[in-house]
Structure formats: C-alpha cells, structure tokens
Amino acid sequence: MELKFYGAACEVTGSCHMLRAAGRTLLLDCGLFQGRRQETYLRNTSFRFPPAQVDAVIQSHAHIDHSGRLPMLVRQGFRGAIHATDATVDLCEVMLLDTANILQKDAQFLNDKRAREQRHGGPRPPPIEPLYDERDVDSTMRCFQRHRYGEWFEAAPGLRFRFHDAGHILGSAWVEAEVQESGRSTRLVFTGDYGRHGIPILRDPVALAPAAVYISESTYGDRMHPPLPDMELALAAALRRLAQRGRGKLLIPAFAIGRTQHLLYAIGRAFERGLAPRLDVVVDSPLAAAATRILLSHCELFDAEARAALTCSASQAHEFVPGVRFTEGVEESKALNRHPGPVVVVSASGMMESGRILHHLAHSIESEDTDILVPGYQAEHTLGRRLLDGAQRINIFGDSKVVRAHVISMPGFSAHADRGDLLAALTPHAERARALFLVHGEDGPRRALAQACAQAGFRRIEQPVPEQGFTL
C-alpha cells in the first residue's frame, strides 16, 4: 500500500491524497487550492499525476477545498466513479456550479489585469481560460455514486470503503477503508474534516474505528475552541452593539454550507431568548439559499433539537429562521449597499476571497459604522487572514481601501474539531496504529498535534510535504 499527498500538506486547502493498493489508484478528495488569485490559479491548472490513471475518488464532503478540482479531474481524463454520501452529492452539484461561475470571473479578472499591463509594451500573452465550466460540472455529476452512512461498498477489487458521520457539515464523512492485498487485510481511516461535539443542527461525529493507518486533519491542532455558549453570547453582544449604534452594518463572511446555517440558527436563538433586539438579517448568497434548501431536505441527519425546531421542507429556505430573508437577485444585493442600517448581512465566501461579500466590503470597510464578524478559520494569504492580522489597508477589486471597520474574531464558531476533539478521537487507537499521517494543517498546529500524539503513544507520526510518498 502506498500513500502520496498532493494537497493539504503544510496547508489547509487543496485536499488530495492518493492511495495505491491492490493494483489500483484512488484519490481521497480532490480539492481546490485557495488563496492569492494568481498564485492559486497556477497551482490549480494541472495535476502532478495523470487523471486518466485514477480508478476512483472517495469524497469526504462537499467543501470546495476538498471537492473543487473534481471537474478538472474529469476534464483531463478521469472516467471512474466518485463515491460520496447522498447529501454530499446534492451539495456538490450546487457548490461546483457556483465555483465554475467564480472561476470564470477570476479568469476574466486576470485577463483584464494582463491587458492593462500589456498597454505598457511587450508581447500580448495568451488569454487565461477558466479551470472548468458548467459542462465539466455536468460530466462530473454523472460520475457520482451515492452511499448511506455505514454501508460497505467496493470501489475496486480488494478495496472496500464505508462512510461514517463526521459531524462537520451536512453529509460530511470520515472514511473507513479495508485493503486486501497479498493475502493480508489492512484497515485505514481518513478523517476528512472531523467535526465538533455539540454543534447545533447536525449530529455529533461518530467515533473513529480501529485501524492500522490514520490520515487525520490537524487544522486546530494547537488550540482549543471557546465553548459554543460563550460564542453565542459574544454573537449576541455584536448584535446589541449594532442595535445600540442604530445605523450601519454587521457584515458576516461565512461559508455558504454549514457556517451560514449555524450562524442563522444562533442569531435566531439570540432573538428568541431576548439576548439581542430583533434586527434586519439578510443572507446575500444564492449558494447559501440553495444549500439551506438542501439542508432542509435532509432532516434525517439533524440532531433531536434541530428536528424539533426546524421545518423540514426543501422549498422553505426563507423560513429556516423566522425573520431572516434571502436576497433574490443582483439588484436586491446591490440595494444593501444603500441600506442605512442597522442591518446584518451574511454573505460568502467565508475567507473573503470571492463572492458577494467582497462587494459589501468594498462599499463599507472604510466606514466606522461597519463591524466585520469573522466566525471561523482564515487560511494564510487570504483577505480574511489579513484583516484578522490587523491590516490597515487592503486591496479589493484593484482598489486600495483604508480599514476603518471594526473587525471581530469569533473562531469558536468553527465546525472543525479542536486539539481536544482530535486527541479524544485519535488517542484510543495510539497503541495499535502502525502510522499516523497529519494533513490539513499549517506547520504550527500540525507540529503541536504531532507532539501530543507522540506523547499519547503513536509510534510513527508523519507530517507529509506536498508530493511526498510513503510505502506501508
């Protein structure tokens, strides 16, 4: 059995891990690299392996840093099956179509930038093409095969898999693999993005199974999240601050899938409990509206409290939380820029690298009447990270902006396991495991988690770098 790590090694985006066993080649996830537009475009344009030689993909969940290069894989020759849970397939369709639209706009942005630079002389460079389009997404969706949690399936002769609820976002899974090779059976576990206990709406993650080999995320390997009740109180305080000011905006950049719904649920509870006065709350993200409808069509995956509190209907996104409205089109989105406030605007993308949130920032970040609440992890080199790091001036759409808005960090809303969650999941298996591979983490968190896992009894711990391979 061989493992090779092509993404989410020394970083948190571009998740893509290759498993070679029983004469077959499979991928665990196939995600998009995210960060600086031009740099990530170059990283995303090609694979460091022949896509046509991949036999199957095991897809842990729908987030774009785990699924976003699937259409490129198909475009460049992959013809196998993509295995995922029901909800992941439903979410991937809207996520990948939305990403295709964003990639088209990114390509246009880079072409316009090149054209401006070319005016100063020199040869005209060839136009940059989008990484993929809607036709590639359609072809990709035809490759998906749906599976239920706990159901064993054979992805290739000698390679069986099953998904278990990871509690991260709707449909997310950690993967259990059984490899039959040379007369021996080996178990492997890939955590995908492992969730937290007690997160509203979704069920808690299922405990990891015994295995010889573990591939684990390490996003928050060096820190503990604040308790969720504390975060909900902090959110209520931000709502009260806006209400007391009586004008302006509270901008919340949020992932369209998972984070947006969690925040809306928490805002609704703050209003119901009298922790903050009711305010105008607008979700300005077509993708979030579509994701909310999909969420409500899978209420069998909710925890008991959410099943009792929410109306499960695929056509009722606007009723997800009473009083919250979803924008219907571009003009309604633009009208928010003229809204005097007070108003709460929830919009994608979560790391502020694309989407309508950039337009809201461009119009409001230079106003002291704007608060920006950042509710989760911000990767290196993203606009979100620069704001959290205290940047006083940023560029949006090529224009320099002075940051006068108040930036509020609330990482406790993350749906990723923290250090304690990861250790609780992994350490029961330390003595029997042959190897632990730590991925999906920057160097500091990953190194800290490796040290803790070594103290817990793991004998072999690897922190792979990009394209590093291992034979087991």
pLDDT tens digit string along 386-397? 999 999 999 998
354 or 63, higher pLDDT:
63
- Element housing 20 (H / E): strand 16-21
pLDDT at residue 122, as a whole number: 65
- Element housing 445 (H / E): helix 443-456
16: left (phi over 0), alpha (psi -120 to 50) or beta: beta
pLDDT tens for each residue of 203-228:
999 999 999 999 999 999 999 999 98
CA dihedral 206, 211, 214, 219 (to 10 degrees): 20
What is the rounded average pLDDT of the residues 149-170? 98
Domain 228-413 CATH class label: alpha beta
Identify the top-confidence range among 208-217, 332-341, 403-412.
Answer: 208-217
pLDDT at residue 230, as a whole number: 92
126 or 20, higher pLDDT:
20
Per DSSP, the three-state class of 451 is helix
Q: Which fold has domain 2-223+415-471?
A: Metallo-beta-lactamase; Chain A (3.60.15)
pLDDT at residue 317, as a whole number: 65
CATH 3.60.15.10 positions along the chain are 2-223+415-471
348-372 residues labelled b (16+ CB within 10 A) or e (exposed): bbbbbbbbbbbbbbebbbeeebbbb
- Return mean pLDDT, the chain: 93
In whole angstroms, give the CA distance from residue 421 to residue 431.
18
Q: How many residues does the chain have?
A: 472
102 has a pLDDT exceeding 70: yes
What is the rounded average pLDDT of the residues 390-409? 93
In whole angstroms, give the CA distance from residue 213 to residue 268.
42
161 has a pLDDT exceeding 60: yes
Give me the long-range contacts of 123-126 (CB less than 8 A, separation at least 24): none
Nearest to 379 by CA among 402, 359, 349: 349
pLDDT tens for each residue of 258-301:
999 999 999 999 999 999 999 999 999 999 999 999 999 999 99
What is the rounded average pLDDT of the residues 450-454? 98
pLDDT at residue 218, as a whole number: 98
pLDDT at residue 316, as a whole number: 63
CATH 3.40.50.10890 positions along the chain are 228-413
pLDDT at residue 77, as a whole number: 97
Cis peptide before 342 (omega within 30 of 0): yes
pLDDT tens for each residue of 3-61:
999 999 999 999 999 999 999 999 999 999 987 767 788 899 999 999 999 999 999 99
pLDDT at residue 318, as a whole number: 66
374 has a pLDDT exceeding 90: yes
User: What's at 176, amino acid-wise?
Assistant: E
What is the rounded average pLDDT of the residues 361-381? 92
Per DSSP, what are the bridge partners of residue 16? 7
384 or 118, higher pLDDT:
384
> What's phi and psi for 61, nearest 5 deg?
-170, 180
pLDDT at residue 40, as a whole number: 82
In whole angstroms, give the CA distance from residue 59 to residue 237.
38
What is the rounded average pLDDT of the residues 135-151? 98
What is the rounded average pLDDT of the residues 119-129? 75
